[in-house]
Amino acid sequence: MANEGYGKVILFNEHFVVYGIPAIASAVDRSTTATVEPCMTSCGGEFIPGVYLEDQRPETPGYKESKIDQQRDSIRYMLEAMDLDPTPKPIKVTLGGELMCASGIGASAASCTAMARALSDFYSLDLDDDRINEIAYQGERGYHGTPSGIDNTAATFGGLIWFRKEPPTMDRMKMPQQVEVVMGNTGKVADTTAAVAGVRERREQNPEKYGALFDEASEMAATAREALNAGDLEKVGRLMDENHRLLQEIEVSSPELDLLVDVARANGALGAKMTGGGLGGNMVALTPGKELQEKVAKAIEAEGYAALRTRIG
């Protein structure tokens, strides 16, 4: 049986979350799967010592190749965290599922979570979700250096979550009902580590400006939480627009992301913003109802970009 890790969308406060400001994320209805089996013969090339990898995940062109060194580090960190050494008895790991490998949708975290579950099953470790989440976080270090932890938490637990890095907080949230969204993929593979480093550098250079922006993001998270819990989608949409403005001001958006945000809003989305590390990757538009979701998705596709129709909550 395959083991899953969910894709995710950050609705509020990517980047700000690294500094202890609350963020809100939701799993999406796409996942990565993983299986582990003994490697007897014909496993292909060895990916790292003792591990042969077959990566069947669909991808934005160039994504997997650009992340291959990070993926090697990620698997090493996970094996170390689980105190596993497969070199005496090599294993084959197969990744699959419907989740597109792309920036901004939690692809790395989904693969880490799925792989942690598959390794737990193969070695009969019977790890619970809390431990799976800890191991997936270690895997995320390979991709992001010092990750916030929000991606692997959404990938492991699913649903809608309120997340804070310090002090460590993860609260499950519940909307009155699930809501349709559209995620637009710029097709640009982003380097989250570089994006995070850029924010840190600019924050150190201009602490007064960034302090005010970070305070605004913190207040916005609390307001958004109330609006989501109440199902006030008009307010959620307005707050998403404002959150995108903050992300533009800390310089993690891109011309492609801004274009897709504008297209979504012009076609009736209640709100739209970049999501994830930025500088490429994905944006998200709030589009309650199948009709509006389809209209916005088709408008994004008409601009030559891929659109994912999914739901949050």
Half-sphere exposure of 51 (CA within 13 A, CB side): 22
Last residue within a domain, chosen from 173, 198, 228: 173
135 and 161 fall within a common domain: yes
**How many structural domains is the chain composed of?**
2
Q: What is the pLDDT of residue 146?
A: 82
Cβ-contact 51, 128 below 8 angstroms: no
167 with 191, same domain?
Answer: no
For residues 63 and 154, membership in a common domain is answered with yes
pLDDT at residue 2, as a whole number = 65
Give yes or no: residues 17 and 135 share one domain: yes
Q: Are residues 157 and 207 in the same domain?
A: no
Among 138, 173, 208, residue at a domain's last position: 173
Under a CB-based contact definition with an 8 Å cutoff, are residues 276 and 10 in contact? yes
CATH number at residue 294: 3.30.70.890
Domain harbouring 103, CATH code: 3.30.230.10
pLDDT of residue 237: 98
Q: Is 185 found in the same domain as 96? A: no
How far is it, in rounded angstroms, from Cα 179 to Cα 165? 26
Closest to 188 in 3D by CA, of 280, 272, 251 = 280
Rounded CA-CA distance 287/266 in Å is 12
- pLDDT at residue 24, as a whole number: 97
**ω into residue 168 within 30 of 0, thus cis?**
no
Give the relative orientation of helices 150-157 and 129-144 as an angle to the nearest 10 degrees.
140
d(CA 65, CA 59): 10
Find out whether 32 and 111 touch, Cβ atoms under 8 Å.
Answer: yes
Find all residues with CB under 8 Å of 221, minimum gap 6, and list them. 12, 13, 21, 22, 23, 24, 162
pLDDT of residue 162: 96
Question: Residues 183, 143: one domain?
Answer: no
Same domain, 125 and 16: yes
- Give how far Cα 280 sits from Cα of 32, 194, 252, Å: 21, 12, 9
What are the backbone angles phi and psi of residue 207, rounded to the nearest 5°? -65, -30
Give the domain range for residue 278: 179-312
Query: CA–CA separation, 67 vs 172, rounded Å?
Result: 31
Among 123, 152, 173, residue at a domain's last position:
173
Q: Over its length of 313 residues, how does the chain's per-residue pLDDT go in tens digits?
A: 569 999 999 999 999 999 999 999 999 999 999 999 999 777 888 999 999 999 999 998 999 999 999 999 999 999 999 999 999 999 999 999 999 998 889 999 999 999 999 999 999 999 999 999 999 999 999 998 888 888 999 999 999 999 998 888 889 998 999 999 999 999 998 888 888 899 999 999 999 999 999 999 999 999 999 999 999 999 999 999 999 999 999 999 999 999 999 999 999 999 999 999 899 999 999 999 999 999 999 999 999 999 999 999 8
- Determine the pLDDT at residue 192: 82
145 and 287 together in one domain: no
Verify that 124 and 225 share a domain, yes or no. no
The structure tokens listed for 124 are: 């009969």
For residue 42, CA distances in Å to 47, 56, 71, 118 come to: 13, 17, 22, 21
* Same domain flag for 214 and 126: no
- Supply the pLDDT for residue 102: 87
25 and 164 share a domain? Answer: yes
